[in-house]
């Protein structure tokens, strides 16, 4: 009987050593993957071009899942709070309502490659003042003109250009990957951030 107990302990020790080696190998492979797939500026530019083309095509199809829904999900995941996409007609320049800890933020989105001038910023600022919202934001897949940046600084409107949008999106992907890793290692369940329809 003693030889059986001794043999069992030996088998368990061998299995433990094997498990530790495999765990170390997996950690090394994960590290290599992270290094290999870390997004460079070229990768971000490619992602941005792909996003812009996708949502321009989707808009032509009048798809339910459009640029505003994408931005709403990215903002809710990246900045916290909850988002609601407004109806396309009668939105008065507000595409997304973003409820954060400090209050309501009004957001306008533009899926275009051309630089955005100050007009969308003026519209969001006007709506923000009228509704007494805590903040406003204009999001574009492109860039902003110097006049737009200057006006946004004066009015306190947040600007998110295409490169910053891709950064927020990639942060969300990284967070989801980390959450999945934590979920696999622990029985606790993660939470999901949803977008509601207004």
pTM over 0.95: no
Structure tokens at 65: 């899942």
Q: CA 50, CA 166: separation in Å to the nearest integer?
A: 11
pLDDT in tens, the chain (198 residues): 666 666 777 777 777 787 778 777 777 666 655 555 556 778 878 888 887 787 876 665 555 458 899 999 999 988 889 999 988 666 678 999 999 999 999 999 998 888 999 999 999 999 999 999 999 999 999 999 999 999 999 999 999 999 999 988 888 776 555 555 555 566 554 444 455 555
Q: CA 148, CA 126: separation in Å to the nearest integer?
A: 15
CA angle 183, 100, 59 (to 5 degrees): 85
The pLDDT assigned to 21 comes to: 82
Length of the chain: 198
């Amino acid at each position: 009987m003693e030889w059986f107990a001794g043999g069992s302990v030996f088998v368990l020790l061998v299995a433990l050593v094997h498990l530790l080696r495999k765990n170390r190998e997996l950690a090394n492979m994960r590290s290599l993957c992270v290094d290999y797939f870390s997004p460079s500026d070229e990768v971000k530019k490619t992602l941005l071009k792909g996003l812009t083309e996708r949502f321009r095509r989707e808009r032509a199809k009048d798809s339910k899942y459009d640029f505003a829904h994408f931005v709403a999900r990215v903002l809710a995941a990246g900045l916290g709070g909850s988002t609601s996409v407004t109806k396309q007609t009668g939105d008065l320049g507000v595409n997304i309502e973003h409820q954060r800890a400090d209050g309501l933020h009004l957001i306008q989105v533009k899926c275009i490659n051309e630089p955005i001038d100050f007009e969308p910023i003026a519209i969001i600022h006007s709506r923000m003042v009228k509704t007494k919202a805590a903040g406003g934001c204009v999001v574009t897949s492109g860039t902003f003109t110097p006049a737009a940046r200057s006006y946004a600084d004066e009015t306190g409107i947040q600007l998110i250009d295409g490169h910053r949008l891709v950064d927020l999106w990639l942060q969300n992907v990284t967070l989801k990957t980390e959450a999945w890793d934590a979920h696999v290692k622990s029985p606790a369940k993660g939470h999901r951030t949803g977008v509601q329809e207004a």
